[in-house]
């Protein structure tokens, strides 16, 4: 039969340092001075991708904040029993697909929404209704598409 091997490597303090699944992709765990994982990267051939960085922990060792490789920042807080109580994600206005950046994919989604071909979710409406500038009007229309396009091109910041 076929066997698949996952390799694990450890640092000098006998802590997990990397994982290599059968695909050959190497997941590397960076650590802060306290020994907590503070970054995760993926090496696939010559391509290195940051999956998470700036990972912050509370006194109980639970993750309270991190920045994903796509720039999305997440934060969490816990109740007295240590259970997650609040989880939040920063979303950038104009970011309709939730990847943390405003680019051509968001422009395409906004165009489909403005044409009535796609119904925006409440979250998409909250981050895609960016016009008029001072008082959004509750819909994603051509004015919103224009502002999102300008932001994707680096011509406008909001």
For the cut 90, the answer to whether the pLDDT of residue 105 exceeds it is yes
Counting other chains too, the contacts that 140-147 makes at CB distance below 8 Å and 24 or more residues apart are 140/110, 140/113, 140/114, 141/114, 142/114, 144/110, 144/114, 145/107, 145/110, 145/111, 145/114, 147/94
The confidence band for 69, taking pLDDT boundaries of 50, 70 and 90, is confident
What average pLDDT does the segment 147-153 reach? 96
At which residue do the structure tokens 């490597």 appear?
9
pLDDT above 90 covers a percentage of the chain that reads 75
At which residue do the structure tokens 């909250």 appear?
126
The confidence band for 124, taking pLDDT boundaries of 50, 70 and 90, is very high
Quick one: which H or E segment has residue 14?
A: none
Q: Does the global pTM surpass 0.85?
A: no
For the cut 80, the answer to whether the pLDDT of residue 89 exceeds it is no
For the cut 80, the answer to whether the pLDDT of residue 70 exceeds it is no
Quick one: which H or E segment has residue 136?
A: none
Written as six digits, the tokens of 143 are 């004015």
**Angle subtended at Cα 143 by Cα 138 and Cα 149, rounded to the nearest 5 degrees:** 115
Helix, strand, coil percent values for the chain (each to nearest 5): 20, 35, 50
pLDDT of residue 21: 95
The confidence band for 25, taking pLDDT boundaries of 50, 70 and 90, is very high
Between residues 12 and 92, which one has the greater pLDDT?
12
Between residues 92 and 83, which one has the greater pLDDT?
83
């Amino acid at each position: 039969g076929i066997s698949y091997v996952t390799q694990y490597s450890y640092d000098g303090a006998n802590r997990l340092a990397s994982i290599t699944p059968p695909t050959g992709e190497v997941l590397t765990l960076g650590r802060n001075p306290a020994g907590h994982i503070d970054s995760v990267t993926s090496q696939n051939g010559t391509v290195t991708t940051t999956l998470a960085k700036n990972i912050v922990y509370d006194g109980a060792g639970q993750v309270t904040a991190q920045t994903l490789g796509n720039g999305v920042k997440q934060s969490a807080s816990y109740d007295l029993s240590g259970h997650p109580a609040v989880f939040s994600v920063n979303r950038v206005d104009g970011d309709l697909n939730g990847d943390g950046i405003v680019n051509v994919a968001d422009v395409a989604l906004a165009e489909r929404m403005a044409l009535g071909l796609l119904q925006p979710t409440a979250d998409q409406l909250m981050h895609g209704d960016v016009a008029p500038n001072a008082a959004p009007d509750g819909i994603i229309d051509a004015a919103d598409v224009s502002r999102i396009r300008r932001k994707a091109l680096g011509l406008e910041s909001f």
